[in-house]
Structure 1
Amino acid sequence: MNTKYTELAQNELVKYLQKPSSEFTCEDIIKFIEANGIEMVNFRYAAEDGKLKTLNFVINNKEYLETILCQGERVDGSSLFSFIEAGSSDLYVIPKYRTAFVDPFAEVPTLNLICSFYNSEGQPLESSPEYMLRKAVDTFKQETGYTFKALGELEYYVITDDEKFYPGVDQKGYHASTPYAKWEMLRVEALSLIAKAGGLVKYGHSEVGCFVKDGIYYEQQEIEFLPTPIEDAAEQLIVAKWIIRMLGYKYGVTISFAPKITVGKAGSGLHVHMMLEKDGKNQMVSESKLSDTAKKMIAGILDIADALTAFGNTIPTSYLRLVPHQEAPTNICWGDRNRSVLVRVPLGGIGTENMVKDANPNGAPLKLNRDSKQTVEFRAPDGSADIYLLMTGLVVGSLHGLQMENALEKAENLYVGCNIFRDENKHILEKLDQLPASCWESADRLKAKREVFEKYGIFTKGLIDNKIKILKSHNDAKLSEVLYGKEEQIAALVDKYLHVM
């Protein structure tokens, strides 16, 4: 028994089985079901729209339970993915035991498992975003020897009738507390349920966005996770979005992960932090400074960052968020602790022991033998992101950087140590390439750089073609210019995309 993983675990299976979820077996799942009176099993899987789908099973007997856990079930792939034709649409969904968690919303005791897709020959579905991420992780490990970890920052709005009692201050909601933040209790419940579902939660807080418009109250929240293998990071974000929406349904409020609610107010992003490990040691630092490995990784991501918007910014309102002076990136560059850049290097916990001693002069802090917490943060994506494909793209970009001959030179040239939007830095701003300004432009950038994504066979040609087609279908070239000053049209567009991925 490894108490490091089980002592304070929130997931009921981890607590009962006394092992980390990565070690769950079919026998473990059956043991838990039998001992805990589980009556139903749900297979969950993300389709092309990014939302969790559900297949319900009533447990009739042990033989049937063993069958579904070991053989999965057949589904209609053409109803889940637009690129699958109806004539050859049968797919299998196979449960991943490590993802098992008790459904917190089910009326009868129910176990949820996230699934992978397989084709009629029993092979992983090549065009499945989930499988592409797995291929990317395996390729990255083989090529570099590094383990790729990530975490997401999930921002969303709670939308209700106007809250006049203890009103919040417009655009001053950052870290507000109840009673000025009205929906802290929903966030706290979400934190608890996400942890019980296996999510590694770092913290939650209210965000900047707080305003009233046309008698409707908007309050922004954020939940941030801890670093974990990137496949797990992707799936805990998908599950977390489902849980938060379910709580909105429970409380009768609207939850939106949309990138932009209205012009002039804070939009919601989906920032992704990344780190590389080898033999359990963080490779992002060397001698207390950002390592060359990290800089090469950043260079590779920046080199394809414009094309990455095809997976991280997938709807027209994504590009209403990516505008200057809104703490959202518009230019392809990186810097330290700088929120005007595309890739930010946040504080990494260096020197905190001295701060703790200063704050607690009468009590010596614990002597923690911990590695650096340093990550790098990609700030462009938003709630419309196809999470599996976004994460896959970030792995591909990082590998691209580690293999680029001029990666360190590129990183040096794209580093900015200032606020690039200040007048005195205009000469720096003018030298930087910009992110796309529409889905149409994003599709063009993806088409131009598709070779990087298709290298090693990670992204399939068909998926890239399909993604370009979908982005172009929005027909939103120069949308910001067309909509400028037209509030009713902007409101209609926001409403259309209020419930994104």
Structure 2
Amino acid sequence: MTDALMASPLVRDIGKSPDEFTRSDIVEWMADHEVRLVDLRYVAGDGRLKTLSFAPADRRHLERILTMGERVDGSSLFGFVSATSSDVYVVPRLSTAFLDPFATEPTLDLLCAFHDADGNLLESAPTTVLGRADALLRERTGAHLEALGELEYYVATPDDGQYPAVDQRGYHESEPFAKGAQIRREALSLIARIGGHVKYGHAEVGSYQVDGTVWSQHEIEYLPVPVAEAADQIVLGKWILRRVAQRHGALVTFAPKLLVGQAGSGMHVHSRLVRDGVNLLVADNGLSDDTRRLIAGYLAAAPALTAFGNTVPTSYLRLVPHQEAPTSICWGKRNRSALVRVPLGWDGVDDSMMHVDNPAEPVVVDDPAAGGTDPQTVELRSGDGSAHPHLLLAAMTMAALDGLTRPDALDLAEKLHVVGDASARTDLAQLPGSCVESARALREGRATFEEGGVFPPGLIDAQAAALEAFADEGLAARLDADPTALTEVVTRFLHCG
């Protein structure tokens, strides 16, 4: 049974949830709808979507593609795969099937897993690492992490001289003052059509004009889903936004910082801990001890987490004081100056507000609209669009496991709780200020991520080395005195992630 209002075309037509799809379901659906092309999609080491296209000759060929996948050059996709033994397999995951919304000919797309020459999951592939992290958390706690990403981005459009942008005043603005809103609406619709679970979209704070171009900031936020699915959705969402913008002759960028003094773009990640459909973050008296343990895990690992969440030099032009980006390692309730925020969660209000504002609506006991898993989350606010979503969520899952099992977690959470402006606390540790500092923090904190064999040591070394190669310590101070160099650095990382 499916919800025809919200389901993707495949879910609606096949009549199953995606995790129940079989090979024969896919083959029959393609035959019924005369879909003759297949794209295998996979996420490489740079976090972007890659594509391998097929025109199956017959049913047998199609079934082989869906069963066996194809071999590809792993050394061109990952830095850890040697060119002397580079073949790896990409094998489609049937639950991810969707109809490509941009293809000129009907095309079925499937996300893939990576396998090595022996048929085992490729050990260092980011999708594999995230799967191991999820499995270890489930094994040791009986719970799993659900997550949602907030995709912040800028749209660049020509300045038509009408309804000018007002600096730093774009939050929830409407057209005609919000530029690029049509791109956001189309992307929302397409993300839902391919099976994404989107919560909402809106214009964000950032808004300015430079040299005949209007830069308008927007955000699309998802609904919480298991971490592996959440990572896939972030990758697909970025792909869709870029394609829609391209269709409109505009540019979309997820770069963390474009202009000093203007709002940067983050990729905040909300998470909740779930066991048997119950959100463990809430208790009768408010936040549970598990919430504080989870937060403690994020805060303890925070410096090293930037190695996965903030991977280019311009990431650290965003993580500066007084720009609604975190710098101090702390947490707070509804506090946007803190690294970890506990947002408002509808605790104790149920549907009472609706009846105040809509007197004609009858009061319903046990209203099903108020059911389901409690929506309370905690939000990690440091990450940005340069992050590899699968690696960041894998690292967060391992940090969560550490927090849930470390004996000093509740004391640490108490110590790092702030009320009011976090910058007023002089005793708080600070996030790294460069890629080089993040690499140093990763090397020092690697044990959290290598626990249980989740992150291979070689992957940690490769991530740290990639960050160190930027040699960006002190970059922010140097760029302050050289506007031309700043423009060059921003342009270099305009299309990160």
Same fold (TM > 0.5):
yes
Q: Matched residue of 1:304: which SS? A: helix
Mapped to 2, the partners of 1:331 and 1:143 lie a distance apart of 30
Partner of 1:361: 359
Give deviations 1:449-492, integer Å, cap 9, x for gaps: 11111110000000001011100000001111221232211111
Q: Does 1:341 align with 2:338?
A: yes
Partner of 1:376: 378
Give deviations 1:87-115, integer Å, cap 9, x for gaps: 11000000001111000111111000000
Partner of 2:409: 407
Partner of 1:417: 419
Q: Does 1:474 align with 2:470?
A: yes
Superposition pairs for residues 236-251 of structure 1, below 5 Å?
Answer: 236-251=233-248
Mapped to 1, the partners of 2:281 and 2:211 lie a distance apart of 47
Q: Does 1:287 align with 2:299?
A: no
Structure 1, gaps ≥5 residues long: none
User: What amino acid maps onto 1:80 in structure 2?
Assistant: L
Partner of 1:259: 256
Partner of 2:190: 193
Q: CA deviation at 1:265?
A: 0.2
Contact 1:150 1:227 in 2 (8 A): yes
Partner of 2:389: 387
Determine which of 296, 313, 336 is the counterpart of 2:310: 313
Mapped to 2, the partners of 1:91 and 1:468 lie a distance apart of 24
Superposition pairs for residues 430-441 of structure 1, below 5 Å?
Answer: 430-441=426-437
Q: CA deviation at 1:163?
A: 3.5
Q: CA deviation at 1:364?
A: 2.8
Q: Matched residue of 1:355: which SS? A: helix
Give deviations 1:293-313, integer Å, cap 9, x for gaps: 111011011101100000000
User: What amino acid maps onto 2:334 in structure 1?
Assistant: R
Structure 2, gaps ≥5 residues long: none
Task: Please give the TM-score of this superposition, normalised by the length of structure 2.
Answer: 0.97
User: What amino acid maps onto 1:384 in structure 2?
Assistant: S
Q: Matched residue of 1:415: which SS? A: coil
Partner of 2:19: 22
Partner of 1:458: 454
Q: Does 1:133 align with 2:135?
A: no
Mapped to 2, the partners of 1:288 and 1:384 lie a distance apart of 38
Equivalent residue pairs, number:
492
Q: Report percent identity of matched pairs.
A: 48
Mapped to 2, the partners of 1:357 and 1:485 lie a distance apart of 57
Superposition pairs for residues 20-59 of structure 1, below 5 Å?
Answer: 20-59=17-56
Q: Matched residue of 1:357: which SS? A: helix
Mapped to 1, the partners of 2:295 and 2:485 lie a distance apart of 38
Determine which of 116, 123, 148 is the counterpart of 2:113: 116
Q: CA deviation at 1:375?
A: 0.3
Superposition pairs for residues 79-158 of structure 1, below 5 Å?
Answer: 79-158=76-155
Q: Does 1:323 align with 2:320?
A: yes
Q: CA deviation at 1:226?
A: 0.3
Mapped to 2, the partners of 1:233 and 1:420 lie a distance apart of 29
User: What amino acid maps onto 2:240 in structure 1?
Assistant: I
Q: Matched residue of 1:93: which SS? A: strand
Q: Does 1:8 align with 2:5?
A: yes
Q: CA deviation at 1:60?
A: 1.2
Q: Does 1:496 align with 2:492?
A: yes
Mapped to 1, the partners of 2:337 and 2:157 lie a distance apart of 31
* Structure 1, 159-168 or 146-155: larger mean CA deviation: 159-168
Partner of 1:487: 483
Determine which of 177, 202, 206 is the counterpart of 1:205: 202
Contact 2:157 2:179 in 1 (8 A): no
Partner of 2:171: 174
Q: CA deviation at 1:288?
A: 4.6
Mapped to 2, the partners of 1:365 and 1:118 lie a distance apart of 54
Contact 1:306 1:435 in 2 (8 A): yes
Mapped to 1, the partners of 2:137 and 2:96 lie a distance apart of 23
Mapped to 1, the partners of 2:476 and 2:484 lie a distance apart of 14
Mapped to 2, the partners of 1:259 and 1:32 lie a distance apart of 41
* Structure 1, 403-412 or 245-254: larger mean CA deviation: 245-254
User: What amino acid maps onto 1:308 in structure 2?
Assistant: L
Q: Relative to structure 1, is the Cα distance of residues 440 and 120 closer, same or farther in structure 2, using a 3 angstrom cutoff?
A: same
Mapped to 1, the partners of 2:476 and 2:188 lie a distance apart of 36
Mapped to 1, the partners of 2:468 and 2:275 lie a distance apart of 40
Backbone CA RMSD of aligned residues: 1.0
Task: Please give the TM-score of this superposition, normalised by the length of structure 1.
Answer: 0.97
Mapped to 2, the partners of 1:469 and 1:147 lie a distance apart of 31
Mapped to 1, the partners of 2:363 and 2:94 lie a distance apart of 39
Q: CA deviation at 1:77?
A: 0.2
Mapped to 1, the partners of 2:148 and 2:381 lie a distance apart of 12
User: What amino acid maps onto 1:353 in structure 2?
Assistant: D
Mapped to 1, the partners of 2:219 and 2:137 lie a distance apart of 30
Mapped to 1, the partners of 2:44 and 2:333 lie a distance apart of 36
Q: CA deviation at 1:162?
A: 1.7
Contact 1:356 1:365 in 2 (8 A): no
Q: Matched residue of 2:268: which SS? A: strand
Q: Matched residue of 1:449: which SS? A: helix
